[in-house]
Amino acid sequence: MSATVANSAGRARKGKPVSELGRRILERLESKGWSQSRLARELGVSAQAVSGVLRQSYISAPLALRLSDLLGVTVKYLAPDF
C-alpha cells in the first residue's frame, strides 16, 4: 500500500509519510480528541515511538492489542491482515 501524508488536525508531522495502519490510528485519535503525545503517555512510550508506529505497516501482537483497547477498535480494524 502506498503511504500518504497525514494532515489530520496537525497531529502528524508535516511531510512524514504514514502507513495505512498509521492513517487508521490517526483517524481514531482525531475522533477521541487525542494527540500523538496523549497516545504515547497512555501507551507508556515516547512520542518518537508513536511517530515510528504511524510509519510502519506492521506492529506486534501485544502492541496491536494495547492500541485496539485504547482506541476502542478491533485489531482487525487496525491491521486487517493481522
Higher pLDDT, 53 or 5: 53
Per-residue pLDDT of 10-55, as tens digits, reads: 345 555 688 999 999 999 999 999 999 999 999 999 999 999 999 9
pLDDT at 14: 57
Pairing of strands 4-5, 17-18: antiparallel
What is the number of residues in the chain?
82
pLDDT at 17: 80
pTM check: above 0.85: no
- Residue 21 falls in which region: left (phi positive, over 0), alpha (psi -120 to 50) or beta: alpha
Distance between CA 65 and CA 50 in Å, rounded?
15
Higher pLDDT, 45 or 5: 45
CATH number of this structure's domain 4-78, picked from the four choices 1.10.10.10, 1.10.510.10, 1.10.260.40, 3.50.50.60:
1.10.260.40
Higher pLDDT, 4 or 19: 19
